Amino acid sequence: MLRRRWFTFVLAGMLALAGILPSTAAAQEAPSPESAATEGGNGFVRHQAGPFWVWFGPQSWTGSGSANGLTIFGTGGAVLDTGFSSILCANGATYPQSVTNYFAQRRNQLRNQGYTLLSATNIVRPAGTGPSYRRQQIQWRRTSGGATRRGFFEFDYDFSQNVDGINYCFARNLGLYSLANTWASRRPILIQINQRLAYSGPGACDPSPSTPC
């Protein structure tokens, strides 16, 4: 069960990407379609993705969501994909070592999967997050199946708790990408969709005897 601070973490993870996206809070109440951006002159419309997600984007775009993630598909190969879960913390004698090892593992996984890493930010603690919250953003290019895609990933990592000597951490991934030849036009649309996500999943509940989920 996600605890309240994990929900706060998830919402913080939906903030605009530092250094890549404009700074803005994740949408508790998404703006009206009239105030949203457009694609080809068509205003954004409200979409429901499962019971937990509301998002605003082009009418033709589709999405599917669960308690732990959301995927949106658009024209030009555009994709927004985000997910979060509890994981075993990466090895490390100290938490800073665990952080270093976790992000190194993620970068190595990408390289092994054929991604060319174009740039990577420093591992940082974004403003407004807890003391153990860390983030790294990676811009990439990948050719697979005869198609080249461009985009970026954002990886978040946070210590959660120790249970019977085992350290658990919280991990969140965000990916925005499209076909390389449409990236310049799809990137701002994906950014604006990300800024308008509204989530009402289990993380919104802080279970206790008096207020059960």
Which CATH number goes with the domain that contains 13? 3.40.1000.10
pLDDT in tens, 110-130: 999 999 999 999 999 999 999
User: What are the beta bridge partners of residue 151?
Assistant: 140, 177
Residue 32: is its pLDDT beyond 50?
A: no
Helix, strand or coil for residue 191? helix
Nearest Cα neighbor of 182 from 75, 36, 62 is: 75
Whether residue 119 is contained in a domain is answered as yes
Residue 145 lies in a domain: yes
pLDDT of residue 204: 54
Environment class of residue 119 by beta-carbon count within 10 Å: exposed (0-12), middle (13-18) or buried (19+)? exposed
Domain count, the chain: 1
DSSP for residue 181: G
Strand partners, 159: 169
Domain that holds residue 63: 4-20+45-202
Whether 192 is in a domain gets the answer: yes
Calpha distance 104→8 (Å, rounded): 25
Which pLDDT tens digit goes with each residue over 62-78?
999 999 999 999 999 99
Question: Would you say residue 30 lies in a domain?
Answer: no
The CA distance from 70 to 144, in Å, is: 23
CB 202 within 8 A of CB 194: no
**pLDDT tens digits, 197-210:** 999 877 554 444 44
Say what the pLDDT of residue 2 is. Answer: 35
Q: For residue 177, is it within any domain?
A: yes
Distances (CA, A) of 166 to 44, 89, 161, 169: 45, 8, 8, 10
Place of tokens 């069960």: 1
For 128, the token pair is 């407004």
Residue 9 pLDDT: 33
Give a yes or no: residue 25 inside a domain.
Answer: no
In a domain, 29, yes or no: no
Question: How many CA atoms lie less than 13 Å away from 142 in the CB half-sphere?
Answer: 17
Look at residue 200 in the predicted model and tell me its pLDDT. Answer: 87
Residue 22 is predicted with a pLDDT of 31
What is residue 135's three-state secondary structure?
strand
Query: What region does 209 belong to: left with phi over 0, alpha with psi -120 to 50, or beta?
Result: alpha
Q: How many CB atoms lie within 10 A of CB 106?
A: 18
- pLDDT confidence tier of residue 158, bands split at 50, 70 and 90: very high
8 Å CB contact between 71 and 194: no
Q: Which residues contact 109 (CB under 8 A, 6 or more apart)?
A: none
Residue that wins the pLDDT comparison between 59 and 43? 59
Strand partners, 143: 148
Residue 73 within any structural domain of the chain: yes
